[in-house]
Amino acid sequence: MSWKFLIEVAISLTFVLFIYLLLFTPLRTSRTWRATVTPLASIIGSGFLVVAPLLYFIVGDFAPLAMLLIVILAYMIGEAIRFNIIHEEPILQDKKKTMIHELETTSNLILSFAYVISVAFYLRLMSSFIMEGFFHKMPLVENIITTAVLLFIGINGFLRGLDRLENLEEYSVSVKLSVIAALLIGYLLHDVSIGFKIRGEIKPFTLETLQYLGGILLVVQGFETSKYIGHKYSPYERVRTMKLAQIISGLIYVTFILLALPLLYLLSGQKVDEAAIIGLSRHVSVILAYLLVMGAMMSQFSAAVADTIGAGGLLSVETRNRLTPRTGYLLVTLVAIVLVWSANIFEIITYASRAFAAYYLVQVIIALILARKKKMAGYQILFLINAVVLAFIVLMGKPVG
């Protein structure tokens, strides 16, 4: 039996097995799993498919180490969000306005803006994967497809609300996780078949390297969604499952970059491309390349719908219902269309990273204030470090391209 045939069979079986586990077993209805899936699905969303070529362009063979550092940074920032879930939420329930209320309002408005950018990013990436998977790259056509889907979401949300589209999320998450499991198995078997030979390059570490790394914080964004499902889960459930989601996603990210390393040398000398992972995956498996396209299409669409809902809802809340959620949905998609036609995919990634970094920075400041009031010295040091790093990303993050 040849390695190629074994890899194709293993990928197919892994995909089917995970689809079964995620959709047809008691795991699907587990309360802990459902609370974990919300942030997990966001963290390992579209960024998962662009992070390998991005990191290889920035640091070469040090890509797995860079990924590990980004994951650790995300976990540190997540600690601030978890701290706020426990210590800030009781304060927000008090109708008396305080500085904490004002900072929370500011962070919500920034998050709305970040979601607008990420909607443009998700759907532009989806269009790129469609063209790469079934045709060939045509930026103009990709922008037209993205615009059409954005108008579909915005108009549908304005006229009918987004409930119908939202139902696709549960199934798309299961497909996405199953594709990722198949991807990891495929790359593992490929690496075994070639003896895990690394033929890449080492790149110098400079200030610009840090600026590039700061510009891709978006790839591990999504853990903050645990903060906004308090209507379903208690604070301690959200804290526990958010930690679990970050640990699982961190292991997946670092493992994937490590397994992809023997193939990343093929990108040397090429322009960084958002759909490069599909080309690399064709060296592993024919089936895998098509699974990635299917998973990416479902993943990007559902993520865009989720962020449109989130942004529209936050805009409505923070404008005290002067802007209805339905109007917010339409506004979000119209601004996203402007972004799609005025920036390339890697500029969009950096804009989104800066916006999310600004949101996290405000959340960290809230956590720092609360930790100081409670005289929790260890947390104060942690949150101060977070604030410095996030301020650097907001001010200095650079796009790769």
DSSP assignment of 51-86 equals HHHHHHHHHBTTHHHHHHHHHHHHHHHHHHHHHHHH
Measured distance CA(317)–CA(332) in Å, rounded:
15
CATH of the domain at 110: 1.20.1740.10
- Does 247 fall in a domain? yes
Residue 276 near residue 121, CB atoms below 8 Å: no
How far from the centroid of its chain's Cα atoms is residue 258's Cα? 19
User: How many domains are there within the chain?
Assistant: 1
- pTM of the predicted protein model: 0.84
- Does 241 fall in a domain? yes
How far from the centroid of its chain's Cα atoms is residue 274's Cα? 14
Measured distance CA(136)–CA(129) in Å, rounded:
10
- How many C-beta neighbours within 10 Å does residue 133 have? 16
Q: Which domain holds residue 378?
A: 3-396
pLDDT tens string for the chain (401 positions)? 578 888 889 999 999 999 999 888 887 778 888 888 878 877 776 667 778 888 888 888 888 999 999 999 999 999 999 999 999 888 878 777 788 888 888 888 888 888 788 778 777 777 877 776 666 777 788 888 888 888 888 888 777 766 665 566 667 778 888 888 999 999 999 888 887 777 767 787 888 888 888 777 767 877 888 887 777 789 999 999 999 999 998 999 999 999 988 888 877 766 666 567 777 788 888 888 888 877 777 777 777 777 777 777 777 767 776 777 778 788 888 888 887 887 766 677 677 778 888 899 999 999 999 999 988 989 999 999 999 999 988 888 766 55
